Amino acid sequence: MNILDNIIVDKEREVAFKKSLVPPVQLEQAMLFARPAFSLSNALRHSSSGIIAEHKRRSPSKAVINHDTKVWEVVKGYEEAGVCGISVLTDTPYFGGSLEDLLVARASVQTPLLRKEFIVDEYQLLEAKAYGADVILLIAAVLTRQRIRELSLFAQDLGLEVLLEVHNLEELEKSLMPSLDMLGVNNRNLKTFEVSLDTSKELAAHIPDEFVKVSESGISDTAAIKDLREYGYRGFLVGENFMKTTDPGAAASGFIKDLNS
Ligand X SMILES: O=C(O)c1ccccc1NCC(=O)[C@H](O)[C@H](O)COP(=O)(O)O
Binder to ligand X among 152, 186, 199, 200 (CB under 6 A)? 186
Our CB check for ligand X shows the closer of 22 and 195 to be 195
Helices (H) and strands (E) in the chain, counts: 12, 10
**What residue ranges in the chain does DSSP mark as E strands?**
51-55, 58-59, 63-64, 85-89, 113-116, 135-139, 161-166, 182-186, 212-216, 235-238
56 is catalytic: yes
Q: Are 15 and 49 in contact (CB under 8 A)?
A: no
210 as an active site residue: the answer is no
165 annotated active-site: yes
Of 3, 30, 153, 250, which one interacts with ligand X (CB under 6 A)?
Answer: 3
Interface with ligand X includes 85 (CB under 6 A)? no
How many Cα atoms are found within 13 Å in the side-chain-facing hemisphere of 170? 4
Task: Return the beta strands (E) in 56-99 as ranges.
Answer: 58-59, 63-64, 85-89
Q: Between residues 82 and 184, which has the closer beta carbon with respect to ligand X? A: 184
226: annotated active-site residue:
no
Euclidean distance between CA atoms 120 and 142, whole angstroms: 8
Stretch that binds ligand X, among 18-26, 103-111, 167-175, 232-240 (CB under 6 A): 232-240
User: Site residues for ligand X, window 24-83 (CB under 6 A)?
Assistant: 54, 56, 59-62
Residue 49's nearest CA partner among 24, 21, 79, 19 is 79
216 is catalytic: yes
| Contacting range for ligand X; rule: CB under 6 A; set: 106-114, 225-233, 234-242, 249-257 | 234-242
Q: How far is the CB of 64 from ligand X (least distance, A)?
A: 12
Measure the CA–CA gap between 75 and 184, rounded to whole angstroms.
22
Choose, by CB under 6 A, the member of 50, 82, 239, 249 that binds ligand X.
239
| Length of the chain in terms of residues written | 261
Which residues are identified as catalytic? Answer: 54, 56, 116, 165, 186, 216-217
- Residues at the site binding ligand X, with contacts judged by CB under 6 A: 3, 54, 56, 59-62, 186, 188, 190, 193, 216-219, 237-241
